Amino acid sequence: MSHSGMVIPERSRDIGDFLVGRLLPFRRKRMIGPFIFIDHMGPTRLGPENYMDIGQHPHIGLSTLTYLFEGEVEHRDGLGTRQRIRPGSVNWMTAGRGITHTERTPEDLRRGNSFILHGYQIWVALPKAKESMAPEFFHADASELPKWQQADCAYTLVAGSAFGHTSPVPVHSELFLLEVKAGKPATLEFGGELKGEIGIILVDGVLGACKQEIEKGSILYSKPGDPCRLSVEAGTHLLVFGGVPFPEERWIDWNFVASSRETIQEVKEAWKAGEFPMMEDEESYVPLPGN
């Protein structure tokens, strides 16, 4: 890491039923590669008082990626998808020109059960040419993701391409999302292997870079071309993500991402007026904030 290393701390945000740690966007760094939004969910205990119940809400201009370490969430969307997400599997929903979805604790886990939910909710902006593509959904089971061992660390490639592997998740730009677990103390070097900007989330354990120790939950950011040498202790758990940045700026407003402010304004009006394509057999509706 050179002097351009930046540490982005996790900040608490209340999303209704429970607190999450907001990592991106950050005031000094809005995006890392095409990644524009990252929330750390939990670890939090869900039970009869606070099961996950995120009603019908819209997205445009992005793909959502849900990756869990513990617990389960049921995803439903306007394409008719009903998909449980379990630890280690990937839900990838590309909103394109517009989609609505819900995220809830599955029905069979609600019967008075109490369990831990822990994972990350990630948004990847779409390249400008694909912002108005038709929405689509893809699910990969944990067994379908590339996994390998390297320098005493276990790697899983959640999305994109890295280290000669490619995930089955159908991404729309040059990016990577890796899960790395250190079995022993190790030195990691990503500089020559990962293309573009690099963000490293310390999920758990000890991470050192540039003679400083990174706080748990933070993102360490590295510019393209930085050597990016890291030291980790045994048991350290990282998410490493990033890719090639887009040439144009992106606007983010509530659940909408676009390269044009006008597009976001139009979609906000459509959501308020009930003119957005809605899910069948779903009564819930999350209103536009401030309206």
| Residue appearing with tokens 């490619």 | 166
pLDDT tens by residue, 235-246: 999 999 999 999
What is the percentage of the chain residues whose pLDDT exceeds 90? 73
Q: Do domains 11-141+251-277 and 145-246 have the same CATH topology?
A: yes
pLDDT tens by residue, 90-145: 999 999 999 999 999 999 999 998 999 999 999 999 999 999 999 999 999 999 99
Kindly tell me the burial class for residue 225, based on how many C-beta atoms sit within 10 Å of its own C-beta (0-12, 13-18, 19 or more).
exposed
Query: Per the CATH hierarchy, to which homologous superfamily does domain 11-141+251-277 belong?
Result: Jelly Rolls (2.60.120.10)
Q: What is the mean pLDDT of residues 242-254?
A: 95
Tokens of 260: 């044009």
- Does the pLDDT of residue 2 top 50, yes or no? no
What's the pLDDT at 85?
97
**pLDDT tier at 192, thresholds 50, 70, 90:** confident
Q: What is the mean pLDDT of residues 85-90?
A: 98
Q: Quick one: how many helices (H) and strands (E) in the chain?
A: 1, 25
What's the pLDDT at 138?
98
**pLDDT tier at 18, thresholds 50, 70, 90:** very low
What's the pLDDT at 5?
59
Q: What is the mean pLDDT of residues 76-82?
A: 97
What's the pLDDT at 15?
47
pLDDT tens by residue, 193-223: 899 999 999 999 999 887 778 888 888 888 7
**pLDDT tier at 24, thresholds 50, 70, 90:** low
User: What's this model's pTM, rounded to 2 decimal places?
Assistant: 0.92
CATH class of the 145-246 domain in this structure: mainly beta
**pLDDT tier at 189, thresholds 50, 70, 90:** confident
Q: What is the mean pLDDT of residues 184-190?
A: 91
What is the percentage of the chain residues whose pLDDT exceeds 70? 89
Backbone angles phi, psi at 263, to 5 degrees: -60, -45
pLDDT tens by residue, 265-289: 999 999 999 999 999 989 999 999 9
Q: How far apart are the first and last CA of the chain?
A: 45
Structural domain boundaries of the chain?
11-141+251-277, 145-246
Helix (H, G, I), strand (E, B) or coil at 143: helix
- Does the pLDDT of residue 258 top 90, yes or no? yes
Strands (E) located in 141-267: 147-150, 153-162, 165-166, 175-182, 186-189, 197-204, 207-209, 212-214, 219-222, 229-232, 237-243, 251-253, 256-258
| Residues in Cβ contact with 122 at an 8 Å cutoff, skipping those fewer than 6 apart | 35, 37, 38, 39, 64, 65, 66, 67, 177, 241
CA-based nearest residue to 162, from 284, 152, 150, 263 = 150
Q: What is the mean pLDDT of residues 136-156?
A: 97
CA-based nearest residue to 160, from 147, 141, 173 = 173
| Angle made by CA atoms 134, 135, 136, in degrees to the nearest 5 | 120
pLDDT tens by residue, 37-56: 999 898 999 999 899 999 99
The number of CA neighbours under 13 Å toward the Cβ of 176 is 27
Tokens of 197: 């900007």
Average model confidence (pLDDT) for the chain? 90
Sign of CA dihedral 248, 252, 257, 258: negative
- Does the pLDDT of residue 16 top 60, yes or no? no
